[in-house]
C-alpha cells in the first residue's frame, strides 16, 4: 500500500451544529483526524451521536459548520470537493434507481463520466459481487442482500480512492451481513481504497484497522488495547 501512503482526507477542528426551535444543537466540535487511503476505519457510538453526519462531512457530501475537510496528496492540499469523483458512497437504504436494472444502476456513474465501456465494466463488477446472473433484474426483484451488492458494485465501479459506507449491513440478516462485509473489505483491499464505515456492529468494527467512537459529544480514537479488551466472540452472529 506504499503508493497510497500519502493520500489522505484530513479533518481539521471540524464541528457540526444545527438550529431547531431557535436553539442551536451541536452534534460534535473540534474533531481532528486523518483518513488514509488503503486503510479501514469504523465510526461507532450511540444512535443520534453524529456518526452519519461525520461520514457526510468526511466524504464531502455536506459542509461542516466549523473547521475544514481537505484532501492531501503528496503534500498538495485541495478542498474535499475537488475529489468528489474519487469518492464512492454506500447508503443503508441502497438508493438504487427503481426503474433501472442492476446492470444500468452499476453503470450509471461511468455513463455520467462519458465512459464508452460503462456496461462492460458494470457487468464485470456484478460478476465480482456474485450477481452476474441478475444483470437484468430491477431492485424490486432483488433481495436486500442482493441490492446491497449492487450498491457496492456501483460505489466501486469507477475505482474510487475512498469508500464511505453508512450502516452497510444494518438492513441485512446475519448471513447476508457477513458476506457483504467480507466483500466490501476484499474489494477495497484489492483496489487500495480507503474504507470508512459507520456501524452499530462491534464485530464489523473489529475488522477495521482503526476505530473512532462517539461518546458524550466527543469522537475519540480507540486504542488497539481498548479494542482488544472490547472484542466479543459472537460465533455465527458475528455481524448481528
Whether 1 shows a pLDDT value over 50: the answer reads no
| Mean pLDDT over each residue of the chain, to the nearest integer | 86
SS (H, E, C) 76-101: EEEEHHHHHHHEEEECCCCCCCCCCC
pLDDT given at position 239: 47
Within 91-206, strands assigned E span 162-166, 194-198
Alpha carbon distances (Å) from 17 to 22, 122, 167, 196, 216: 13, 39, 22, 22, 15
Q: Tell me the pLDDT tens digit for each residue of 29-54.
A: 888 889 999 999 999 988 888 888 89
* Helix, strand or coil, per DSSP, at residue 134: helix
**DSSP bridge pairs for 195:** 40, 163
* Terminal CA-CA length for the chain: 31
| pLDDT at res. 27 | 83
- Dihedral pair phi/psi, residue 120, rounded to 5°: -65, -40
CA–CA dist 131, 124 (Å, integer): 10
Among 16-25, 194-203, 223-232, the range scoring the smallest mean pLDDT is 223-232
| Beta strands at 23-36 and 7-20: parallel, antiparallel or unpaired | antiparallel
Delimit the domains of the chain by residue range: 2-237
Whole-structure pTM value: 0.85
Give 131-163 pLDDT, tens digit per residue: 999 999 999 999 988 998 899 999 989 889 999
Task: Provide CATH code, domain 2-237.
Answer: 3.40.50.300
More confident residue, 29 or 232: 29
pLDDT at 116: 92
Amino acid at each position: 500500500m506504499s503508493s497510497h501512503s500519502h493520500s489522505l482526507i484530513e479533518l481539521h477542528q471540524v464541528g457540526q451544529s444545527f438550529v431547531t426551535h431557535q436553539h442551536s444543537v451541536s452534534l460534535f466540535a473540534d474533531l481532528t483526524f486523518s483518513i488514509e487511503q488503503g486503510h479501514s476505519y469504523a465510526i461507532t457510538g450511540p444512535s443520534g451521536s453524529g456518526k452519519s453526519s461525520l461520514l457526510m462531512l468526511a466524504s464531502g457530501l455536506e459542509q461542516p459548520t466549523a473547521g475544514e475537510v481537505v484532501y492531501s496528496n503528496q503534500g498538495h492540499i485541495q478542498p474535499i470537493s475537488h475529489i468528489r469523483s474519487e469518492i464512492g458512497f454506500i447508503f443503508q437504504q441502497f438508493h438504487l434507481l427503481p426503474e433501472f436494472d442492476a446492470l444500468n444502476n452499476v453503470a450509471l456513474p461511468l455513463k455520467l463520466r462519458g465512459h464508452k465501456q460503462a456496461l462492460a465494466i458494470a457487468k464485470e463488477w456484478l460478476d465480482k459481487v456474485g450477481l452476474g446472473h441478475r444483470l437484468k433484474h430491477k431492485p424490486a426483484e432483488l433481495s436486500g442482500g442482493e441490492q446491497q451488492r449492487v450498491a457496492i458494485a456501483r460505489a466501486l465501479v469507477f475505482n474510487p480512492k475512498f469508500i464511505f459506507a453508512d450502516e452497510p449491513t444494518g438492513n441485512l440478516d446475519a448471513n447476508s451481513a457477513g458476506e457483504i462485509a467480507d466483500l466490501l473489505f476484499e474489494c477495497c483491499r484489492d483496489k487500495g481504497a480507503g474504507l470508512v464505515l459507520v456501524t452499530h456492529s462491534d464485530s464489523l468494527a473489529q475488522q477495521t484497522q482503526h476505530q473512532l467512537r462517539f461518546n458524550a459529544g466527543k469522537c475519540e480514537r480507540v486504542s488497539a488495547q481498548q479494542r482488544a479488551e472490547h472484542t466479543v466472540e459472537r460465533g455465527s452472529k458475528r455481524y448481528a
